[in-house]
Structure 1
Amino acid sequence: MMQRFAKIVGIASVCSFATLGAAYAQTTSNTSNPQEQSQPVKLVYDIYNKGLHVISVNANYVLTPTTYKVNAHFFSAGLGSLVFTLDSDAVVNGVFKNGQSLPGVYQSTGKDKNGNFKLVMNSNYGLKTDITTLDPARDNDRDALTADQQTNSLDMLSAMADLMHRVNTTGKCDAQFNLLDGLRSFTFRSQTAAGESDIPSNWDSPYRGKALLCQVVAQQVGGFKTHSRHRALLSQPQPGSIWFQKVGDMGYLPVRFDFKNPKMGMVTGILQKVPVSKE
């Protein structure tokens, strides 16, 4: 069960992000160095499935017009902590070039019911993605990734940074790219919905009213379990929605995401209240 939730959260973090959020560090006119990063803003997301709070995510994102850095902590929470274990940290740094995110080194470490795990991917700022550490290693019953699936792909945190950057610089979230989590490859598409949309109110959230709606689709294309009876099911397109709303002087943040998983049903992420400067 934990592994299934972890997979969902991985994809959902893009569809939010997931699970994850970000603080857009606006550069002021008196900033001498446009790449200078301000202090990160901590965002907290609660993740729900089948009516239960199962996972929480603490995320520190810092985005400038040219750089980004993300630290995120995923952990089982609520009733979910009674039935499965998840305790994972992820970090990545990168740059923005021609409107796109180009990650440097992504690292994820943690512990689940099977023990410790570690993933390190060096994307060399868009030149070539090398998986330098994958522990435990890929099982023999899982398809190996092709060179094309491993190259020119984004990790989950960089994908969200990409969407955050697009929304805050263009007012739109139209994007298409490949995702890589070390074992599996996905395609990802995001499209801006026409007009503003009301944020659904079926979960308690401090953010309501109109928001920019991004309609997204993620689809696994590589790294399947070779003999899995769920292969056809998992290869289906997985639709989702992200609502971005302007929060104080931090720009647009993903305040809610809904993500439909073919095996688990609807997964929902809700941004908890972010302290806003009163200046």
Structure 2
Amino acid sequence: MAQQRSAAASAPSAQNIHLRYGVFVHGYHALSADADYVLQPWGYGVETHLYTVGLASWFLTLNLMSSTQGRFNGDDVAPISFNNSGFAHGEEETTHIDFDLSGPHVTVLLPVEKQREPLPEPELKQSIDMLSFLVELTHRLSLKHDCTLSRPIFDGVRLSYLEVHGPSQTTIPKDHGSYFKSDALKCEFTGRQIGGFSLSTHFKAAQSSPHQGAVWFVHDQQGGFIPARVEFAHYKLGQILVVLQSAPKISTVVRPQTH
């Protein structure tokens, strides 16, 4: 009986998938990103770490930890909370957002933001965080082999709108140290900022203009569909490339059970 209780208490409940990416700006490896996520039938959890590397760290310092958790509702996601904290733009930053049926609620925002234009309420109410959007895209692709999706995205300050369509069958490019060199499904997207513009910005026209991008998914025997490459245009930095550079690491998550 004791053995049965012990086995139940240590029953594996899910798997954690760890991914490591290189982030290239104009072809130069300026940042690295680590991601860990757990997907279960009822919901998800994601943690990411984005940081400067190499010569880029001589000129700027960026070290940000982000996390989100939420539930699945059929094809859709319902985020519960999002957190982002660390060092960027020369200072410590912290953002925490709670989500409910009425939309996102920013409970922590440091430093206090400068004056910005109002956020459009209908889109804000429907918005989710960026990590939850990526989970939803992966989830939809896994369930339906479809990545047609459009959503408002909120980071606590800025509101954007992303539209994705596809996928198309292709081969993942082999450049920039890509770990995968195999067939892939490519989803193309368009993004633009729709709210939260700084009152003093000189870039509103560029920020609100559509910017093109694409994400390549590969199918891993253990990890399922995995985002292996992302390309997109940034209104200020130009072309940005994110490449998965090492094998996915899969580990078992054991959830203790209480009786």
TM over 0.5: yes
Residue in 1 that maps onto 2:88: 112
Cα deviation digits, residues 127-146 of structure 1 (max 9, x gap): 42111111112212x21323
Secondary structure, aligned partner of 1:255: strand
Report deviation, 1:37: 4.2
Residue of 178, 181, 192 corresponding to 1:208:
181
Alignment equivalent of 2:109, drawn from 106, 120, 134? 134
The 1:37–1:239 alpha-carbon spacing in structure 2 relative to 1, beyond 3 Å, is: farther
Among candidates 224, 227, 230, match of residue 257 of structure 1: 230
Normalising by the residue count of structure 1, what TM-score does the alignment of the two structures yield? 0.81
Q: Distance in 1 between matches of 2:231 and 2:120?
A: 30
Give the superposed CA RMSD.
1.8
Structure with larger Rg: 2
Distance 1:112 1:49, change over 3 A: same
Q: 2:162 aligns with which of 181, 185, 188?
A: 188
Which residue is equivalent to 2:4? none
User: What residue in structure 2 maps to residue 146 of structure 1?
Assistant: 120
SS of the residue 2:197 aligns to: coil
Letter in 1 for 2:110: D
- Larger strand percent: 2
Matched residues, number: 240
1:203 to partner: Cα distance: 2.0
Secondary structure (helix, strand or coil) at the match of 1:121 reads strand
Partner of 1:271: 244
Give the deviation of 1:231 after TM superposition.
1.0
1:238-279 superposed Cα distances (whole Å, 9 cap, x missing partner):
1101100111221110111111123222100011222567xx
**How far 1:40 moved relative to its partner?**
1.5
Matching residue's letter, 2:60: F
- Structure 1 pair 149/40, CA: closer, same or farther in 2 (3 Å)? same
Identity over aligned pairs, percent: 27
Check the 8 A contact 2:179/2:247 in 1, yes or no.
no
Mapped partners of 1:60, 1:103: distance in 2: 17
Q: Report the CA distance between 1:83 and its aligned residue.
A: 1.3
> What are structure 1's unaligned runs of at least 5 residues?
1-31
- Give the ranges of 4+ consecutive aligned residues of structure 1 lying more than 3 Å apart after TM superposition: none
Note if 1:83 corresponds to 2:59: yes
Determine the structure 1 residue equivalent to 2:38: 62
Contact 1:217 1:239 in 2 (8 A): yes
